[in-house]
Structure 1
Amino acid sequence: MTILDIVHVLKKHLITAVITLVVVTVAMACYTFTRTTQYMATAELLATYRTSAGSGETGSSGNAGELSSGANYINSQIRTYPQLVKTESVLQPVIDDLGLNTTVSVLAQSVTASNPDGTMLVDLSVKNPDPKTASSIANAVAESLKKQVTSTLYTDEGDKIVSPVNLTVVQQAYAPASPSSPNIPRNLMAGVACGIILGIVAALIKDLMDTRVRLDSDVTGIVESPVLGSLSRDEAYADKTPVIIAKPASREAEEVRRLRTNLMFALPDGPQSNVIVVTSAGPSEGKTTLCVNLATAFAENGGKVLLIDTDVRNPSIADKLGIDGNVGLTHLITNQVSSQDAIQRYWKQNLHVLPAGMQSMNPSILLNSRALKALIEQVAGAYDYVIVDTAPMQVANDAAVFAKEGPELLLVAGIGVTEKNVLRQTTQELETLDIHAAGVAINYAEQDKSRKSGYYYYYGNTKSGYGSRHRDTGSKHRDAEKR
């Protein structure tokens, strides 16, 4: 996944990312402002080696060998002091001397000690809600540790032996002027940073879990063919009359015209390249709606158009246009009727419709028959454009059978409907058969609000000019006529 892919995912799931950011930031803020303010006081001790323990002489009077061995000894001992600080032998005297109402285990949680690398120092810190109490405990713990190391730990049956290690408090703890925690700016910045990271992660997870396409980029990420046009999610497309006829000056009609124009440029020159096979990966993606609107757009442009419903398993063209669908393709290719009886004229003289007809035999055998192939060849030469509505690829590969013979394939994808895995399987099947779609048409796309006012300006005015002429023409030809 590239950075550009991540940006697309964030744009698609921006609300999820923002909600995650806000929740994490608010949670961190609540955590920060509900914490008890803590003050940290620090004392520092220095460890030195006594070269002559019995006489009490310091390391300065020893020879070089004693100094070297003494340094090694201190290095080995001083590593244990940070843990020694938390023991009962060090902390219990502090509790007794200061009269603290606590236990050794509780006090140990507020005491930390460390030995900076390469030094003979022991840094001892204490946290407490009261700054003076923090400094008092830190100084008391420092003295208790010093006593344990220099005397108490080195006794033998009551006889006191001078410790070879001498601990000296070189820095007393003072009451801090400002709290050490919570660090409000740092915590809030950390909350924002974590919120951004988790927001991106949440968006990626949601995108991976989302099985349906939500943007054009989801489709183009699976299908290599270009997007030739988009039909928005609008009730105008649900009407039995295509938008080109019912609302010629509308934004929806312009969407169909844009798709028609782009498709005209995308179609190559070749035998049967004027036959456009329309299919989708799965059902309910709006391919039939797109077919009837696209056919009327081609007819409006002056081309002689034939719309064929080959989805004999679930025919819908006749119902979509409100025409009689009892006689159609199945009757024509089985020689039960002539083309004069099967093909109907709709709206204009140059727009013809061939419904699916009644299913009378196995659809696969019917659609793979020589009679149907001969019919496609015949109508390809008789019409400027032939729109073929086929079954979804998930149901049957009729579209692949048609496209393999020369016609061009237009793949329809419905935003919020198309399953990514089904679309991916369809693409792989087409690649296996060496079929390349001329383009992709997007259905149920969200309206571009930034262009909405422009549509109203150019296509909303029907008092004169473009909108008025087309509305009058459409009102004269709404009823279907039989050829």
Structure 2
Amino acid sequence: MTILDIFNVLKKHLITAVITLVVVVAAMAGYTFTRTTQYTATAELLATYRTSAGSGETGSSGNAGELSSGANYINSQIQTYPQLVKTESVLQPVIDDLGLNATVSDLAQGVTASNPDGTMLVDISVKNPDPKMASNIANAVAESLKKQVTSTLYTDEGDKIVSPVNLTVVQQAYTPASPSSPNIPRNLAAGVACGIILGIVAALIKDLLDTRVRLDTDVTNIVEAPVLGTLSRDEAYAGKTPVIIAKPASREAEEVRRLRTNLTFALPDGPQSNVIVVTSAGPSEGKTTLCVNLATAFAENDGKVLLIDADVRNPSVSDKLGIEGNVGLTHLITNQVSSQDAIQRYWKQNLHVLPAGTQTMNPSILLNSRAMKALIDQVSSAYDYVIVDTAPMQVANDAAVFAKEGPELLLVAGLGITEKNMLRQTAQELETLDIHAAGVAINYADQDKSHKSGYYYYYGEGKSERGKKHGGKGAKQRDAEDR
């Protein structure tokens, strides 16, 4: 997955990523602001070696051998001090001296000791909600540790023996001026960073689990064909009259016209290249709605158009247009009726419709017959454009059979409807058959995402809609702006 792929996934699931970011930041903020404020005070001790126990002489008066062995001894001993600090022998005297209302284990949780690498130093840090108490406990623990190391640990039957290790407090703990935790800026920055990372992960997981296409990029990532047009999700397409006829000045009509124009430029020169076979990967993706609207768009442009309903398994063109569909393609191919009886005129003299008719035999045999091929060849010469509505590829590969003979293939994909696996299988089947789609038509696109700018040049009904988008300006003022 490339950076561009991740960007597209984030764009598609932006709300999920933002919600994840907000939740993580809010959780971190809640954790941070509900924590008890802690202050940290640190005391520091230095460990030196006595060359002669009980003599009071330090390592500075010894020879090089004694100094070397003394340094090795201190290094071995000083590593135990961080753990020694948390023992009862060190902390109980502190509790007694300061009169603390705490047990040894309670006090040990707020006390830490460390030995910086390469040094003979011991740092004792204490966390406490009271800054003054933090410094008092740190100093008391330092003194208690010093006493334990220099005297108490080296007694034998009441006889005091001088410790070979001498601890000296070189830095007292002072009352801290500012709290050490919680670190609000650091925690919030960490929350934002984690939120961004988890947001990206959540978007990627949601995209992997999402089985349907949501953006046109989902389609083009699977199908190697350009997007020639996008039809929005609108009730205008649900009627029994195509939008070119019912609402010629609407945005939806302009969407269909744009698809028509782009498809015209995408069609190559060649035999039967004016025959456009329309299919989809699965059912309910709006291919029939697109077919009837596209046919009227070509007819509007004075082209002689024939719309064929070749989805004989589930015919719907006649229902979509509100015309009689009992007699049609199946009867014409089997020579039961003539073309004059089967083909109907719709809206204009140059727009003809051939319904599917009733299913009388196996659809695959019927659509793969010589009679069907002869019909396509005949109508491709008689009409400027022939639009063939076929069954979805997951139902039957009729569209591939037609396209293999020369007609161009237009693949319809419904956003939120098309299954990625179905689309991928369709693309693989077309590739296996060496069929290249002329383009893809996107259906059911969100209106706001399809037309972000909001600038459309409508007339009649469309002007009032555009006036609303621009604050209700008058027609004359809008026309002047358009010019």
CA gap 1:456/1:51 in 2 versus in 1, 3 angstroms: farther
Aligned to 1:38: 38
Distance apart, 1:68 and its partner CA = 1.0
Deviates more, 1:76-85 or 1:385-394: 76-85
Aligned to 1:61: 61
Q: Deviations over 1:412-449 (max 9, x none)?
A: 01111111121111111111111110000011111245
Deviates more, 1:142-151 or 1:194-203: 194-203
Aligned to 2:217: 217
Assess if the C-alpha contact under 8 Å between 2:249 and 2:459 holds in 1. Answer: no
State the secondary structure of the residue aligned to 2:100: coil
State the secondary structure of the residue aligned to 1:27: helix
Q: Which residue identity does 1:30 align to in structure 2?
A: G
State the secondary structure of the residue aligned to 2:454: helix
Aligned to 2:351: 351
Q: Deviations over 1:372-408 (max 9, x none)?
A: 1121111112211110101111111111111111111
Distance apart, 1:338 and its partner CA = 1.5
Q: CA separation in 2, counterparts of 1:458 and 1:213?
A: 35
Aligned to 2:472: none
Assess if the C-alpha contact under 8 Å between 1:272 and 1:407 holds in 2. Answer: yes
Q: CA separation in 1, counterparts of 2:330 and 2:158?
A: 114
Q: CA separation in 2, counterparts of 1:414 and 1:266?
A: 21
Assess if the C-alpha contact under 8 Å between 1:154 and 1:162 holds in 2. Answer: yes
Q: CA separation in 1, counterparts of 2:298 and 2:456?
A: 25
Q: Which residue identity does 1:452 align to in structure 2?
A: G
Q: Deviations over 1:126-181 (max 9, x none)?
A: 00011111111111111111112122222334333222111111111111111111
Q: CA separation in 2, counterparts of 1:10 and 1:17?
A: 7
Matches within 5 A, 1:70-85: 70-85=70-85
Distance apart, 1:200 and its partner CA = 2.0
Aligned to 1:115: 115
State the secondary structure of the residue aligned to 2:259: helix
CA gap 1:128/1:456 in 2 versus in 1, 3 angstroms: farther
Distance apart, 1:88 and its partner CA = 1.7
Aligned to 1:431: 431
Q: Deviations over 1:335-384 (max 9, x none)?
A: 21121111111111111111111111111222222221121111112211
Report the TM-score when normalising by structure 2.
0.92
State the secondary structure of the residue aligned to 2:40: strand
Q: CA separation in 1, counterparts of 2:100 and 2:48?
A: 31
Q: Deviations over 1:215-268 (max 9, x none)?
A: 111111211100000111111111101111111111111111110010010001
Aligned to 2:156: 156
Aligned to 1:384: 384
Aligned to 1:17: 17
Distance apart, 1:454 and its partner CA = 3.2
Distance apart, 1:459 and its partner CA = 6.4
Indicate whether 1:452 and 2:454 are aligned: yes
Q: CA separation in 1, counterparts of 2:433 and 2:456?
A: 43
Deviates more, 1:310-319 or 1:13-22: 13-22
Indicate whether 1:282 and 2:302 are aligned: no
Aligned to 1:411: 411
Aligned to 2:270: 270
Q: CA separation in 2, counterparts of 1:84 and 1:402?
A: 87
Aligned to 1:172: 172
Name segments (4+ residues, structure 1) moved above 6 Å. none
Distance apart, 1:461 and its partner CA = 4.1
Distance apart, 1:456 and its partner CA = 5.1
State the secondary structure of the residue aligned to 1:452: coil
Distance apart, 1:458 and its partner CA = 8.1
CA gap 1:76/1:458 in 2 versus in 1, 3 angstroms: farther
Aligned to 2:401: 401
Report the TM-score when normalising by structure 1.
0.92
Q: Which residue identity does 1:2 align to in structure 2?
A: T
Aligned to 1:479: none
Q: Which residue identity does 2:413 align to in structure 1?
A: A
Matches within 5 A, 1:214-363: 214-363=214-363
State the secondary structure of the residue aligned to 2:45: strand
Q: Which residue identity does 1:400 align to in structure 2?
A: A
Aligned to 1:472: none
Distance apart, 1:280 and its partner CA = 0.5
Q: CA separation in 2, counterparts of 1:386 and 1:282?
A: 22
Assess if the C-alpha contact under 8 Å between 1:311 and 1:389 holds in 2. Answer: yes
Distance apart, 1:25 and its partner CA = 1.8
**RMSD of aligned residue pairs (Cα, Å):** 1.6
Q: Which residue identity does 1:361 align to in structure 2?
A: M
Indicate whether 1:29 and 2:29 are aligned: yes
Unaligned runs of 5+ in 1: 463-483
Q: CA separation in 2, counterparts of 1:146 and 1:252?
A: 86
Q: CA separation in 2, counterparts of 1:230 and 1:353?
A: 24
Deviates more, 1:421-430 or 1:274-283: 421-430
State the secondary structure of the residue aligned to 2:349: coil
Q: CA separation in 1, counterparts of 2:331 and 2:216?
A: 39
Q: CA separation in 2, counterparts of 1:459 and 1:397?
A: 42
Aligned to 2:134: 134
Q: CA separation in 2, counterparts of 1:248 and 1:265?
A: 22
Q: CA separation in 2, counterparts of 1:328 and 1:91?
A: 99
Assess if the C-alpha contact under 8 Å between 1:251 and 1:459 holds in 2. Answer: no
* Count of matched residue positions in the alignment of Structure 1 and Structure 2: 462
Aligned to 2:420: 420
Q: CA separation in 1, counterparts of 2:46 and 2:460?
A: 86
Q: Which residue identity does 1:57 align to in structure 2?
A: E
Q: Which residue identity does 1:324 align to in structure 2?
A: E
Q: CA separation in 1, counterparts of 2:119 and 2:224?
A: 65
Identity of aligned residues (%): 90
